[in-house]
Structure 1
Amino acid sequence: MCKNGCSCNLPADRLLQPLLLFLLKLQPSHGYELIQRLARLDLLEGETDPTTVYRNLRRMEQEELVSSSWEAAETGPARRQYAITTRGEELLHAWMAAIRRQKEKLDRFIGLYEQSLSR
Structure 2
Amino acid sequence: MCNCHKAHHFRYLKEGCPGFRMEKFVQPCMLLLLYEKPAHGYELMERLQRCGFSGNVDPGVVYRNLRKMEEEGWVKSEWESSESGPARRRYIITPEGKDAIHGFAIHVRYQMERLKGFLDKYEKIFGNGEGNAN
TM-score tier (shorter): 0.7 to 0.9
Describe the SS at the equivalent of 1:44.
coil
Quote the sequence identity (%): 42
TM-score using structure 1 length: 0.87
In the TM superposition, what is the alpha-carbon distance from 1:40 to its structure 2 partner?
Answer: 2.4
Q: Letter of the aligned partner of 2:30 in structure 1?
A: L
Larger radius of gyration: 2
Q: 1:46 to 1:71 in 2, by over 3 A?
A: same
Describe the superposition over 1:24-80 as per-residue Cα deviations: whole angstroms up to 9, x where unpaired. Answer: 011100000000111222x23653210121111112112111011111213111111
Give yes or no for contact 1:12–1:45 (8 Å, CA) kept in 2.
no
Please list, as runs of the form range in 1=range in 2, the aligned pairs for 1:1-119 lying within 5 A after superposition. Answer: 3-4=7-8, 5=11, 8-9=17-18, 10-41=20-51, 43-44=52-53, 47-118=56-127
Cα RMSD for the two superposed structures:
2.1
CA distance in structure 2 between the aligned counterparts of 1:29 and 1:23, rounded to whole angstroms: 8
Describe the SS at the equivalent of 1:106.
helix
CA distance in structure 1 between the aligned counterparts of 2:7 and 2:76, rounded to whole angstroms: 42
TM-score using structure 2 length: 0.78
CA distance in structure 2 between the aligned counterparts of 1:81 and 1:110, rounded to whole angstroms: 41
